């Protein structure tokens, strides 16, 4: 090894300063941030992470500009991938982005995944991103920069979800995490257990133990029950809050619809969406529609009824809901509904 090479084993970068280390390993002038061992960049007193070195020229961008460029990687600085029509940044010392084969690959046999942060293996084969807390070598939790000890929270592994997981699962409550009711644990719309109902969810407890005093008050004053009563007074044949099963098979969906009726080849479904289901994931709603269509591949009309919409009292809303149901039944009977899926939102 040359005197000009970094003294870190396996590093071929040039040493900077009296410590015979490159910038990446702490050579040269040290960053003046407390507990930071990285090198200060350019003529500043700070490392790249703490604001030293040349900054990206894009307005309000705090990132470091890439060498021989006035922009960061995100805004086009540094070498680009040489694959046709690709504008992503080349990674490591390659001339391609990760997608087109750039970057260091996992050293596990027959694995082509990219290695995790400062590792020789990918996440699947043991490589982990490390906690950013100073002098901590524990693995950072999923989608976090810190380990559990230093405040990292495990995040739901559903795509684009940033909620914290519940219980010993890998998902948040909205996507099926948490400790589940033993009666509906294998259903796709399973609910969390409730100590108030002996470890069952309220819905299952009411079905399993209808004579229990606690069952007599479950949902007795909810808006969904008012909607159900209004529908029952006016119409016959609606099924209320029952899972949908595919006949003659072991269906794994078992999705529920608040109120539904099959008319010809069309299911008319009325959903009571308290507070417009603002906390529900749009992606999960799309998946739910897909699952329901797999169970009944005919036509669907959904009336999404928000009982909490402002400006009109509940009695007037129920009158308008009944009118809308009558309108849709007439359309179905005349075969005027041509789309596979129609969604009508009321008081959103």
CATH architecture of the domain with residue range 223-346 = 3-Layer(aba) Sandwich (3.40)
Lowest pLDDT segment from 64-73, 90-99, 249-258, 319-328 = 249-258
Over the stretch 155-208, which tens digit does the pLDDT of each residue have? 787 777 777 777 667 777 667 677 778 887 777 566 778 888 898 888 888 888
Q: What is the pLDDT of residue 156?
A: 80
Over the stretch 284-311, which tens digit does the pLDDT of each residue have? 778 778 878 777 889 999 999 988 877 7
Burial of 296 (0-12, 13-18, 19+ CB in 10 A): middle
Over the stretch 20-51, which tens digit does the pLDDT of each residue have? 777 667 677 778 877 777 777 766 777 777 77
Alpha carbons 184 and 186: distance in angstroms, whole number = 6
Rg of the chain over Cα atoms, rounded to whole angstroms, equals 29
Taking Cα atoms as reference points, which of 205, 206, 181 lies closest to residue 191?
A: 181
What's CA 328's distance to the chain center, in Å? 35
Burial of 231 (0-12, 13-18, 19+ CB in 10 A): buried
Q: What is the pLDDT of residue 1?
A: 41
Over the stretch 73-99, which tens digit does the pLDDT of each residue have? 778 787 888 888 888 888 777 788 877
Over the stretch 220-248, which tens digit does the pLDDT of each residue have? 546 788 888 899 999 999 998 877 765 55
Q: What is the pLDDT of residue 180?
A: 79
Q: What is the pLDDT of residue 159?
A: 76
Q: What residue has token string 């400006």? A: 311
Asked whether 227 and 265 are in contact (CB, 8 A), the reply is: no
Q: What is the pLDDT of residue 57?
A: 84
3-state helix, strand and coil shares in percent for the chain, rounded to the nearest 5: 20, 15, 65
Q: How confident is the model at residue 2 (pLDDT cuts 50, 70, 90)?
A: very low
Taking Cα atoms as reference points, which of 249, 247, 298 lies closest to residue 269?
A: 298
Residue 249 has pLDDT above 70, yes or no: no
What is the per-residue DSSP string for 205-258? HHHH-TTSTTTTTTTTT-HHHHHHHHHHHH-S--EEEEE---TTS--S---EEE
β strands within the chain, DSSP E: 239-243, 256-263, 266-272, 299-305, 341-346
Q: What is the pLDDT of residue 221?
A: 46
The domain spans of the chain are 223-346
Alpha carbons 138 and 136: distance in angstroms, whole number = 6
Q: Which has more confidence, 229 or 276? A: 229
Q: What is the pLDDT of residue 118?
A: 64
Over the stretch 96-154, which tens digit does the pLDDT of each residue have? 887 787 877 887 888 877 776 666 777 667 666 777 777 776 777 666 677 767 767 77
Quote the DSSP letter at residue 48.
T
Q: What residue has token string 């108030």? A: 196
């Amino acid at each position: 090894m040359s005197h000009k090479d970094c003294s870190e084993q396996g590093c071929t970068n040039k040493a900077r300063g009296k410590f015979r280390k490159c910038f990446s390993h702490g050579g040269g002038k040290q960053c003046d941030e407390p507990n930071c061992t990285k090198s200060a960049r350019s003529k500043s007193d700070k490392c790249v992470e703490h604001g030293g070195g040349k900054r990206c020229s894009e307005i309000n961008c705090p990132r470091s500009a890439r060498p021989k460029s006035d922009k960061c990687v995100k805004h086009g600085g540094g070498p680009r991938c040489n694959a046709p029509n690709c504008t992503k940044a080349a990674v490591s010392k390659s001339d391609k982005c990760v997608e087109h084969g750039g970057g260091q690959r996992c050293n596990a046999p027959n694995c082509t995944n990219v290695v995790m942060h400062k590792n020789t293996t990918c996440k699947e084969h043991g490589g982990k991103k490390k906690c950013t807390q100073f002098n901590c070598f524990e693995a950072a939790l999923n989608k976090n920069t810190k380990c559990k000890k230093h405040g990292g929270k495990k995040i739901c592994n559903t795509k684009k979800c940033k909620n914290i997981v519940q219980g010993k699962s890998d998902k948040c409550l909205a996507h099926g995490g948490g400790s589940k009711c033993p009666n509906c644990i294998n259903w796709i719309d399973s609910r969390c257990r409730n100590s108030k109902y002996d470890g069952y969810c309220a819905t299952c407890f009411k079905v399993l133990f209808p004579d229990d005093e606690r069952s007599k008050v479950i949902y007795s004053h909810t808006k969904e029950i008012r909607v159900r009563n209004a529908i029952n007074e006016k119409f016959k044949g609606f099924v209320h809050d029952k899972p949908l099963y595919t006949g003659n098979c072991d269906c794994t969906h078992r999705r529920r619809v608040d109120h539904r009726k099959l008319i010809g080849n069309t299911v008319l479904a009325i959903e009571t969406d308290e507070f417009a289901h603002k906390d529900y994931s749009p992606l999960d709603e799309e998946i739910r529609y897909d699952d329901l269509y797999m169970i009944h591949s005919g036509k669907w009309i959904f009336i999404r009824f928000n009982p909490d919409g402002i400006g009109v009292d509940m009695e007037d809303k129920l009158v308008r809901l009944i009118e809308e149901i009558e309108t849709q039944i007439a359309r179905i009977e005349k075969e005027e509904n041509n789309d596979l899926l129609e969604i009508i939102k009321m008081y959103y």
